[in-house]
Homo-oligomer: A and B are copies of this chain.
Amino acid sequence: MDAHERQFDRELGEIKKKLLHMAAVVEAMTDRAIQELVTRDESPAAAILQQEQELNRLQIEIDDDVVTLLATHQPVAGDLRYLLAATRITNDLERIGDLVVNITENVHVLIQQPPVKPLEDIPRMAELVRKRVRDGLHAFVRGDVLAAQAVIVTDDEVDDLKDKVQRELVEHMKGDPQVIERSLMLVLIARHLERIGDHATNIAEDVIYQVQGQDVRHPRTPRQAN
Using CB atoms and an 8 Å cutoff, list the residues of chain A in contact with chain B.
53, 56-57, 59-60, 63, 66-67, 70-71, 74, 76-77, 80-81, 84, 87-88, 91, 94, 98, 101-102, 105-106, 109, 166, 170, 173-174, 177, 180-181, 184-185, 187-188, 191, 202, 215, 217-219, 223, 225-226
Contacts and interface: CB of A to CB of B under 8 A. Distances in A.
A226 B182 CA distance: 11
A217 B67 contact: no
Given A56-B217, A71-B77, 14 more contacts: A53-B218, A57-B218, A59-B218, A66-B84, A67-B80, A70-B80, A88-B88, A98-B223, A105-B225, A105-B226, A166-B184, A170-B184, A184-B187, A188-B191
Contacts of A217: 56, 59-60, 94
A153 to B, nearest CB: 19
Contacts of A81: 67
Nearest to A98: B223
A225 B84 CA distance: 33
A181 B173 CA distance: 9
Contacts of A80: 67, 70-71
